[in-house]
Amino acid sequence: MTKPDLSVTIAGIHFRTPLIAASGTFGYGTEYLDVVDYSAIGGIVVKGLYLEPREGCAPPRIWETPSGMLNAIGLQEVGIEKFVTEKMPRLCELDTSVLVNICGSSLEEYAELARILDDVDGVSGIEMNISCPNVHEGGILFGCDPNMAARVTEAVKKKTSLPVIPKLSPNVTDITAVAREVEAAGADALSVMNTIPAMAIDVETRRPRLKNIIGGLSGPAIRPIAVRLVYQTANAVQIPVIGIGGIASHEDALEFLLAGASAVQIGTMGFVDPSVWRKTLDGLEDYCRRHAVAAISELTGAVET
Ligand SMILES: Cc1cc2nc3c(=O)[nH]c(=O)nc-3n(C[C@H](O)[C@H](O)[C@H](O)COP(=O)(O)O)c2cc1C
């Protein structure tokens, strides 16, 4: 059998493999050059950016949990200007698609980030982290309200011709309501999902493990929840879905593809094993050969219920 086609195209963006580095777990893309086989990576989503630099939350910011980790980094980032002038030129040297993850405290901040990125060489698309508090609406997270999620998507779409990919939060009653609203507002694809709000306590000191008290849970512990949300989302919308949550192997990636994802992102497990990229890609290729799958894209949504 000829080599299976492992590339995917999502919202017009070509990814040479279906494995994408998740925002916040792969820095600004070049930090892992010494330890990761970049040829296995189809795309990189950079750390979430605001207009201005941020220092993030005070430590401790990370706590390991059963099959996962809690983090409250608090969106420590360099700000859009430094990203464009210092980080992006280095990313352009890599042979991989680049998605820029944006954050905002207001509709206007998201829109301005989109406007700036529209002109930047090498940016393939914008992933919107909508799990950010809206300061003008009492700190409600954009992504937790379908209407607000739609309005911020619309504001971003107006300012850019790049594909726009809102990243949905699992912290909602009905993810399909948010998915449908942002699709109607012009989203080109969806990323599912961000971390799950969670908490751990040191019983000896009676103090929370994280300075921020609450953090985001990631890693294999959250995977079945993420697979379920991808399945529900993919069945609710026409636009492509990128699956995220605890992927540690090719079997895990396949679960997301079969549930309806067109590609997947790997985050936490890259910290545990930098060879996860190569091993997962090789496993996908082997699976395609064993199951006579000519193109990985054939597997999207192929779960038999
Ligand atoms: C340390 C850390 C930082 C993160 N920073 C961001 C971020 O800046 N923007 C964002 O949209 N998601 C961020 N995430 C969420 C991940 O991109 C991903 O959605 C989540 O971790 C689930 O995938 P995983 O289980 O493979 O890590 C972060 C996750 C971790 C662990």
- Does some domain include residue 110? yes
- Does some domain include residue 191? yes
Of 257 and 55, the one with more pLDDT: 257
**For residues 110 and 271, what is the distance between their CA atoms, to the nearest angstrom?**
29
The mean pLDDT value for 169-198 works out to 97
- Does some domain include residue 83? yes
Which CATH number goes with the domain that contains 27? 3.20.20.70
- Does some domain include residue 75? yes
Predicted confidence band at 1 (pLDDT cuts at 50, 70, 90)?
low
Q: Which range (79-88, 137-146, 238-247, 264-273) has the least confidence?
A: 137-146
- Does some domain include residue 23? yes
What is the predicted pLDDT for the residue at 133? 79
- Does some domain include residue 87? yes
Q: Which pLDDT tens digit goes with each residue over 188-212?
A: 999 999 999 999 999 999 999 999 9
Model pTM?
Answer: 0.98
Q: Considering just the CA atoms, what is the radius of gyration of the chain in Å? A: 18
What is the predicted pLDDT for the residue at 301? 98
- Which residue's CA lies nearest to atom 23 of ligand 1? 245
How many distinct structural domains can be found in the chain? 1
Predicted confidence band at 123 (pLDDT cuts at 50, 70, 90)?
very high
pLDDT at 30 over 80: yes
Q: Which residues line ligand 1 (CB under 6 A)?
A: 22-25, 47-48, 71, 73, 75, 101, 129, 167, 194-195, 218-219, 222, 244-247, 266-269
Reading the block at residue 13, the tokens are 């963006």
- Ligand 1 pocket, mutate which of 268, 273, 276, 280 (most atoms under 8 A from CB): 268
Annotation says 103 is catalytic: no
- Ligand 1 pocket, mutate which of 167, 168, 218 (most atoms under 8 A from CB): 218
What is the predicted pLDDT for the residue at 204? 98
Query: Minimal CA–CA distance to 24: which of 90, 84, 78, 93?
Result: 78
The mean pLDDT value for 211-218 works out to 95
- Does some domain include residue 2? no
Report the nearest atom of ligand 1 relative to the CA of 68: 25
| Inter-residue contact 260 to 16 (CB < 8 Å) | no
pLDDT at 36 over 80: yes
Domain that holds residue 53: 8-299
| Inter-residue contact 71 to 198 (CB < 8 Å) | no
- Does some domain include residue 214? yes
Q: Which pLDDT tens digit goes with each residue over 91-116?
A: 999 989 999 999 999 999 999 999 99
Tokens 């999502």 correspond to what residue?
10
Report the nearest atom of ligand 1 relative to the CA of 223: 25
Predicted confidence band at 138 (pLDDT cuts at 50, 70, 90)?
confident
Asked if the peptide bond before residue 193 counts as cis, ω within 30 degrees of 0, the response is yes
